[in-house]
Structure 1
Amino acid sequence: MMKKHFDTPLKLEVVKMVKEQGLSISRVSQSMHIGETAIRRWMKQYETELDGEPLASKPLTAEQQRIRELEQENRQLRMDGDHLKKCVVLLRQGNEMSYRLITHLQKKAIPVTHSCRVLEVSRSAYYASVQRHATPRICSKEVHLKAAFSASHKSYGSRRLVVAMQAQGIRIGRYQVRSLMRQARLQPVWRRKFVHTTNSRHNLPIAENILSRQFNPVAPNLAYVSDITYIRTETGWLYLAVLLDLFSRKVVGWAMAPNMPADLVCDALRMAIGQRNPAPGLIVHSDRGSQYASRQYQALLQEHGFICSMSRKGNCWDNAVAERFFLNLKMERVWQGSYANKMEARQDIVAYITNFYNTTRLHSTLGYLSPSVFERHYAVNSPISLS
C-alpha cells in the first residue's frame, strides 16, 4: 500500500480542529481518514514549535530568550485585560454562563486556554460541556480547501483550488469551492502596483519586435522573454532580472543585484544558457531598456546565435508574460511580508521560483499544470526531448 503524504498546511488545519474546536483525536481521525498516531505526532510537533524550540532552528541566546519571555508576558497581560473588561458583568453567574462566554470569545480569536484561566474554569469541564450540547460536523473538504489555499500562498482562486483538490483525489466542483471559500472567508491576495524600471532614453541601437506577441511557441527553447523588476528591502532596493521560456512559462534564468547594470541581464541569460543549452535561432525578447541594448548584452546574443527582439516604445503588452510573472511573484510572496535585507530577499525569491512557481503552481495557460509537469508531458509525448 502506498504511504500517504500530508503537506504542512493540512497538518496545521487538523491540529487546529483538535486544539481550537475541542474535537477528540479519534473523531478527527475517523472523519479525515488519518491515523490517530499521525495526528498525535503532528500535535506534539506543533506544541514543540509553539514553545519556541523548533528542531531545525539555532539555539536562542540569553538575550533573545529574555525578549521572548517578556513578549509572552506582555501578550498575556493584554489578553487578561481584555478578558476582564468583557467578562466583568457575567462573572460569578454559574459555569454554564461561563461556558457560553468562552465559546463567544473563541469566535473573537481569543484562545480557550486564556478564557478558562481568567474565568477559573477547567478546560476539561468546558470541552465536556461543548460535547454535551453540540457535536459539530467535520467538513473534510473544507479542511483540504484551507490547506490547498495556504499552500498556494493565498493566491489560488476557485478554479485553481478545484484542480488542486481534484489532484488529491477529492471530488468537488467550482460552485462548492466558492461556497466553502465564502464560509471560511478565504480571499486571494490581489494588489496592483507598477513602477517603471525601464530606461529607454539612450542612443543605443534598438531591435525590431520580432516576437510580435506570439506567446505560444510549439516547442521549448524557441522563444524567451526577459525583464527587470525591483524588490523593496529594509536596506534598499534589490533588482531582479528573469528569463521565461514562453512554451512552458518556466523561469529558466535569473539574477539579482542592488543596481541595474548590463551584467544583471547578462548573468540571467548565462544561467538560462547553462540550464537549457538552447540552439542558435532562439528569439530573446525584452523591452528597450539600456541594459538590453548594451553592447555587452548584444555581444552575448550574437555569440550564441540568438535573435534579439524588443517591445515597441511605451507598449507594455508586448512583454506581457514577463510582466505577469512579476505581478504573481509580488502578490504571492513579496507583498505578503517584508524583507530585512537583500540576502533574505534573494533566498525567498529563489525559493519561490524553484519550489513553487516552476514546480507546483498551476497555470491556466498550461491547462492547470505547473511548468515542470508541462515540460515532462511534452518530453514523453514528443520525439524531440527538452534540452
Structure 2
Amino acid sequence: MKKACKTLSISRSGYYEYLQRKPSKRALENEVLRAKIQEIFKEHKGWYGSLRITKVLEKKGIKINRKRVGKLMRQMNLYAKGSRYRHKRYNKKSPSIERPNPLNQVFHTDGRNKMWVGDIIYIPTQKGTLNLAVFVDMYSRKVSGWSMSTRVKDSLVIDAFLQGYKKEHPPTELIIHTDQGSQYIGSNFQAILKKYDAISSVSRKGNLYDNALMASFYKTIKRKLIHGAKLTASEQTRKEVFKYIELYYNTKKMHSSPH
C-alpha cells in the first residue's frame, strides 16, 4: 500500500480517509436508480430506451431527467434494441473507409429494376426477435425481394436479393444501395452481386439520409404492422409480414412514387 500511494503521489492518511468517507447523496440515489432501470429494462425485454424508462419511473413517482437515465444506462452498458447510440459513437471514433456511392441521395430513376435499396429491420415478438431484410425498387417503390430469419447473417440479405432477382429478372448493372452493415459489405454478398452483374452502392457512414427511402418504408411497416400487433410466435409473424408485403403493400397501397 505504501508503494502504491507513493506511485500515485497521495498520502496514506488521505487514502484511508477516502475509504472511510460516506458516499454522497447523489451516489446513493444513482445506486437505487440503477437497480430500478435494470428492472424496467429486463421487464420490457430490452426494447425500452431512456425516454420510455424515464416515463415508467415517473409513473412510479420517481421524477428524473431523461439525460441522467441515459447516462446511467450507458454506464451499465444497457442499449435498447435498434438503438443507434453505439453506432454513432463508433462513427465518431473510427475513420470511414471510402466506398462507392453512385446513388448519392438521388432518389429517382427512369425505369423499374435499375436501382434497389435495401436494409434490415428488427421485429419484436413475444418469443424473441425476427429480422426482416427487404429490397425496394426505386422506381415503383414496391418490394422486390424480402427474407426473414431469427439470425442476422449475410444469408438473410442474400436470400432477399435472390428472391427479388428471380422474380424481377433485372438487367445487368442493377444498382444495389445499402448501408455499411457487415451483411452487405461482406465478401459473400459482394460475390453474389458480382455474379449477377449488379453494382454495389453504399451509404456514407452515419448518414441516414443516404438511404431515406428505406427509412420511410420501415416507418410505414412499423406503424401499420408492428406497433400494437402483439405478435406471438415466429410463424405467425412471418404470415403477417407476407400478407402485408405481398397482399397489401405491393398490390393495393398507393405509393409516393408517381409511377
Q: Same fold (TM over 0.5)?
A: yes
Shift of 1:342: 1.1
Bigger fraction of residues in strand: 2
Q: In 2, Cα distance between the equivalents of 1:313 and 1:269?
A: 22
SS in 1 for 2:245: helix
Q: In 2, Cα distance between the equivalents of 1:253 and 1:298?
A: 17
> TM-score when scaled to structure 1?
0.43
State the match for 1:352 in structure 2.
Answer: 244
RMSD of aligned residue pairs (Cα, Å): 2.5
SS in 1 for 2:231: coil
State the match for 1:312 in structure 2.
Answer: 204
Q: In 2, Cα distance between the equivalents of 1:346 and 1:337?
A: 13
Q: In 2, Cα distance between the equivalents of 1:264 and 1:203?
A: 27
> TM-score when scaled to structure 2?
0.63
Q: Deviation digits for residues 89-134 of structure 1, max 9, x if unmatched?
A: xxxxxxxxxxxxxxxxxxxxxxxxxxxxxxxxxxxxxxxxxxxxxx
8 Å Cα contact 2:133/2:147 also seen in 1: yes
Q: How does 1:229-378 map to 2 (within 5 A)?
A: 229-366=121-258, 374=259
User: Which residue identity lines up with residue 150 of structure 2 in the other structure?
Assistant: P
SS in 2 for 1:323: helix
Shift of 1:250: 0.5
Q: How does 1:40-189 map to 2 (within 5 A)?
A: none
8 Å Cα contact 1:255/1:268 also seen in 2: yes
SS in 2 for 1:298: helix
8 Å Cα contact 2:113/2:170 also seen in 1: yes
8 Å Cα contact 1:226/1:322 also seen in 2: yes
Shift of 1:194: 6.1
State the match for 1:227 in structure 2.
Answer: 119
8 Å Cα contact 1:198/1:288 also seen in 2: no
Q: 1:204 to 1:237 in 2, by over 3 A?
A: farther
Q: In 2, Cα distance between the equivalents of 1:198 and 1:282?
A: 32
Q: In 2, Cα distance between the equivalents of 1:306 and 1:243?
A: 13
State the match for 1:213 in structure 2.
Answer: 105
SS in 1 for 2:240: helix
Gaps of 5+ in 2: 1-80
Gaps of 5+ in 1: 1-192, 367-373, 375-387
Greater relative contact order (Cα < 8 A, sep 6+) = 2
User: Which residue identity lines up with residue 341 of structure 1 in the other structure?
Assistant: A
Q: In 1, Cα distance between the equivalents of 2:193 and 2:117?
A: 13
8 Å Cα contact 2:141/2:256 also seen in 1: no
8 Å Cα contact 2:145/2:161 also seen in 1: yes
Q: In 1, Cα distance between the equivalents of 2:230 and 2:202?
A: 33
Q: In 2, Cα distance between the equivalents of 1:317 and 1:224?
A: 16
8 Å Cα contact 1:220/1:248 also seen in 2: yes
Aligned residue pair count: 175
Identical residues among aligned pairs (%): 34
Shift of 1:198: 9.9
User: Which residue identity lines up with residue 186 of structure 2 in the other structure?
Assistant: S
Q: 1:207 to 1:312 in 2, by over 3 A?
A: same
